[in-house]
Amino acid sequence: MRFMQRLLYTPSDDIRWHVAWVIGSVAARVSTREPGQVSELLHRLFESTLDSAAAPWGMIETMGYVIAKRPDIFGAFARHLLNLLGEPSTEMQIIWGLGEIAKTRPDLIRATPFYNLFHFLQHPLPLMRGLVARLMGNLQATEVTTQLMSLFDDNESIRICEEGQMVDTTVADEAKKALAAIRQGEKNE
């Protein structure tokens, strides 16, 4: 696991996102027998992210995948991701990671002050708007249905990582998917 972290230092975004997914998948498997080794990896990734002398390339994405793939073991780390928010250079990766975790365990994100993220639906960067819409859909956050509808005409193109592959979409598509997920959640209640 330790040596896999080195692979994150590639200048290619596509490769870095794929490597983060691979590490997350391997960590999920390793954690069935040696969760301590994966826990150490998560601690190293957090420390690297906090180190002002280190580049956090792929670190947050990897944490997102690891936590999302084994929230039963590493779910407690989710709240620490939200605490990293505030550094503009990593905000989108944090929102993406929270969105991945929310796919499998929305309760972990709902247990944090996630409502502080609502204003990002009006962020000047299209990718941030799309990622927050995706997160809110995964959370089935009925609190933001009106804000999501206001994004239906936002046809800015964005790229989001899904299972290690970059996918082209738009902010409007993500907002529509999010609203559909929220409405589906309301029907299931």
Q: How many helices (H) and strands (E) does the chain have?
A: 10, 2
Write down the domain spans for the chain.
1-112, 116-189
The radius of gyration of the chain's CA atoms, rounded to the nearest angstrom, is 16
Task: Give 96's pLDDT tier (boundaries 50, 70, 90).
Answer: very high
pLDDT for 144 beyond 80: yes
Task: Give 88's pLDDT tier (boundaries 50, 70, 90).
Answer: confident
Tens of pLDDT, residues 17-61 = 999 999 999 999 999 999 999 999 999 999 988 887 777 889 999
Q: Which CATH class is domain 116-189?
A: mainly alpha
pLDDT value at position 53? 74
- Average pLDDT estimate for 81-91: 87
- Average pLDDT estimate for 153-158: 98
pLDDT for 121 beyond 70: yes
Tens of pLDDT, residues 159-179 = 999 999 999 999 999 999 999
pLDDT for 4 beyond 90: no
Amino acid at 143: E
